[in-house]
Amino acid sequence: MIESSIKVRTGIPGLDSILSGGFREGKTIVLSGPPGSGKTTFGMQYLYVGAKDFDEPVVYVTLAESPREIKNDFKMYGWDIQKLIDDGKMLIIDARPFKMEEGFVELDDSLYRGETLPFMHLTQLIVSSIKRIGAKRLVVDSLTVLAMQYANKFYVRQGLQGMLQALEDRHCTSILISESSAAEKIPIEWYVASGIILLHHLQRENAMERTLQVLKMRGVRHSEQIYPMKLSDAGLQLVHPRLTP
Ligand SMILES: Nc1ncnc2c1ncn2[C@@H]1O[C@H](COP(=O)(O)OP(=O)(O)OP(=O)(O)O)[C@@H](O)[C@H]1O
Ligand SMILES: [Mg+2]
């Protein structure tokens, strides 16, 4: 197969220029960072801008928050997720293993029928959703929750390879959100994905500072600098060039 050289704009102001134009079409990028570092916001901004400004249908797979919470959380940025859904530009796949229905926690066994299957079911569901709306972008939030369900890491690697191949075959440029902490072993998705973006959220004097770093991006000339990142009512934005104090 001929490799695509088409670049997909990220929707994060300041990021495309450090990636020689954006992500490579059809490739999968891991987005990793500690709690509250902006992973979900980054993922949703990538999808929202793609659907709204570039007219590319998108799929969001949630394994953590409910679709209702997600729609609500992003209202403060003025992002009307429901409108994108109504216009057929966004699909949210609710892949949470446990769902709260009228006060009860219910096990959803449509997706979780034993150790080898969650990746397969989810990949099938993702592919049919991509076909349904002609999606060009996808976010899985988070891959960590999916991978946790396997005791045997071989199944994670195999399942992940299959998912990434299916996404690439459909030219669907994807972000896998990965929950990281410095103490953990390097997760499998870091090796399998074509790129890794790290979000840091660190104390600097008496305030917290957000930064972004491109750790790897196969086949792309990219900056290796760590860039300050701003989170405001307009969403995420990269600040550069870095001004050293
Ligand atoms: N308008 C805003 N201005 C500044 N900071 C904001 C704004 N909106 C949200 N935040 C901050 O962003 C954080 C949420 O970011 P987000 O949910 O994207 O992080 P995350 O990395 O997905 O976290 P988690 O690992 O818990 O899922 C909030 O906890 C809040 O601190
Ligand atoms: Mg999140």
Q: What is the CATH number of the domain that holds 104?
A: 3.40.50.300
Ligand 1: which atom is nearest the Cα of residue 41?
18
pLDDT (average), residues 77-105: 85
Domain coverage including residue 102: 7-238
Residue 53's nearest CA partner among 6, 98, 10, 99 is 10
Q: How many angstroms separate the alpha carbon of residue 37 from the centre of ligand 1?
A: 6
Query: Is residue 58 included in any domain, yes or no?
Result: yes
Distance separating alpha carbons of residues 145 and 149, to the nearest angstrom: 7
Query: Could you give the number of structural domains in the chain?
Result: 1
Closest CA to 172 of 71, 40, 22, 25: 25
Residue 70 lies in a domain: yes
CA 42 to ligand 2 centroid distance, Å: 9
Q: Is residue 1 part of a domain?
A: no
**Residue 196 and residue 215 in contact, taking contact as beta carbons nearer than 8 Å:** yes
Name all residues whose Cβ lies below 6 A of ligand 1. 33, 35-41, 179, 231-233
Q: Which of 172, 70, 177, 180 is nearest to 129 (CA)?
A: 172
Residue 17 included in any domain: yes
211 within some domain: yes
Is 140 domain-assigned? Answer: yes
Digit-coded pLDDT (tens) for 187-198:
899 999 999 999
pTM here is: 0.93
Q: What is the pLDDT of residues 173-228, one digit of tens each?
A: 999 999 976 667 888 999 999 999 999 999 999 999 999 999 999 999 999 999 99
Q: pLDDT digits over 124-143, tens only?
A: 999 999 999 999 999 999 99
Crossing angle of the two packed helices 118-133 and 153-169, in degrees rounded to 10: 10
Nearest CA to ligand 1 atom 9: 231
In this predicted structure, the answer to whether residue 37 has a pLDDT above a threshold of 70 is: yes
Give the pLDDT score at 118.
79
Q: Give me the pLDDT at residue 39, please.
A: 97
